[in-house]
Structure 1
């Protein structure tokens, strides 16, 4: 079992506190991760994903609840790491020493389905990675998929003149803790180059950044992506204490309707109650400069 993280005197923290680097929550996560052979970044994201399940309406969580979720998330992460131990890099290299490759889809799916916070891979994707020059293990990797989000596609067409079928989505990104600084932004830049040369029918790359998990979009900004719109947050859903996306619910149960799911016998379905932050949609034109969008023109789309 995962050992207890370091105690702290803070009785309750808000979800905003937990998302903020340098907070007592981050100290707790780091102590729990390093004491149990886990990657702090992966444990942070996985725990942040599950804290809304037990947070009050005002977004506060108790110290005991945080400890419980850390143990639950940590035990799950340790089991997932063990399943793909042979794919986890352990050597550190400088950014210029890493090799950029189109990564084999089966191995990418193993990493994403085990270590990405969504615990799934997107079918029909092209996968790219920065791999270490000795073992060929993925240090940072991403998958790029045809854009399926209809609402985003309609907004891209109406506001920016980009048809949905000419946009692809960075649907998964995962970076191991051994990755050097700026690895993700460098990976994104190399992916853009591939699409500019090979994919003449693609004009735009997009991605969704969820700030509820501590993501800020800094790597995308460093790669000259721009924040073009936002998407209203909807409650997180959980099945048997584990987060499940609407896509995963439909694949598993044939529906993502909360009422229908709660009526299923033997299935514990829960919904977050605290208000969540809107996701940000970052975009990058495959050719030419990507224009910034003035604050007054940033649209917040409904789900």
Structure 2
């Protein structure tokens, strides 16, 4: 497989069509693994600076680095037809690509949503460590579509349920069942 940067336009299309959130994280660095002769990656990964959710969780404090030193794997996707160990290989290549890059990244981190069946096995296989588990208080839905807290806050300026219900009425809903914690993995670059 061939590793390379991918264009923002391709990354946006991949996120829109293949990633469960359906959105691209602006300002990301985007990487892919390509099979010989393929125009689309077998696996891709977007890496961003620390964001809204990570700031709220105190991730930099837990990892004992400054926020600007954390590169977050914010989106990834791997084809079901990908060879075994594709994800851990992609993560190792991204890690190597970030070494010595402007920006001074020291740590890579990601959040794995165990409520969606993700376990973090590929991160563990790539040498990442489970840093912490973070409670997921609720999922939010607008017009029946899941929206991450970042998206809700960006669109409506609040995460307060009462204000969202008041503004959106029946279009706003929240999960009502108990959720498993989000798994936070990290690795030194």
Asked whether the two chains share a fold, i.e. TM above 0.5, the reply is yes
Q: Structure with the greater relative contact order (CA < 8 A, sep ≥ 6): 1 or 2? A: 2
What's the offset of the Cα at 1:265? 5.3
Equivalent of 1:202 in 105, 113, 126: 105
Task: Give structure 1 stretches of 5+ with no counterpart.
Answer: 1-97, 287-303
Q: Is the partner of 2:89 in helix, strand or coil?
A: helix
How far apart, in 1, do the equivalents of 2:170 and 2:131 lie?
38
Pairing 1:251–2:158 present: no
Deviation at 1:253, TM superposition (A): 3.0
What root-mean-square deviation, in Å, do the aligned CA atoms of Structure 1 and Structure 2 show? 1.7
| Partners of 2:157 and 2:135 in 1: CA distance | 24
Query: Does residue 221 of the first structure (1) align with residue 158 of the second (2)?
Result: no
**2:43 aligned with 1:144, yes or no?**
no
**Could you tell me how far apart the structure 2 residues matched to 1:155 and 1:246 are?**
16
**Matched residue, 2:91:** 188
> What's the CA shift for 1:220?
0.2
Match of 1:261 among 164, 170, 178: 164
Q: Separation in 2 of the partners of 1:282 and 1:268?
A: 34
Alpha-carbon distance between aligned partners in 2 of 1:155 and 1:261, rounded to the nearest angstrom: 27
Cα distance in 2 between the residues matched to 1:162 and 1:211: 26
What is the deviation of 1:155? 4.5
Could you tell me how far apart the structure 2 residues matched to 1:259 and 1:111 are?
34
Distance 1:208 1:132, change over 3 A: same
Q: How far apart are 1:269 and its partner, in Å?
A: 1.1
Corresponding position of 1:100: 3
If each structure's helix is expressed as a fraction of its own residues, which one has the higher value? 1
Note closer, same or farther for the CA distance 1:130–1:275 as it changes in structure 2 (3 Å cut): same
User: Which of 248-257 and 201-210 deviates more?
Assistant: 248-257
The partner residue of 1:124 within 19, 27, 42 is 27
Q: Is the CA contact (8 Å cut-off) linking 2:69 and 2:103 kept in structure 1?
A: no
SS in 1 for 2:42: strand
Query: Residue 92 of structure 2: SS of its match in structure 1?
Result: helix
- Structure with higher strand content: 2
Write out aligned runs for 1:1-303 (5 A).
Answer: 98-148=1-51, 149-152=54-57, 154-157=58-61, 159-199=62-102, 201-264=104-167, 268-286=171-189
CA deviation digits over 1:234-279, x for unaligned, max 9?
1111111111112212333333322222223565111111100011
SS in 2 for 1:185: helix
What is the SS of the residue equivalent to 1:264?
Answer: helix
- CA distance, structure 1, for counterparts of residue 82 and residue 100 of structure 2: 27
Gaps of 5+ in 2: none
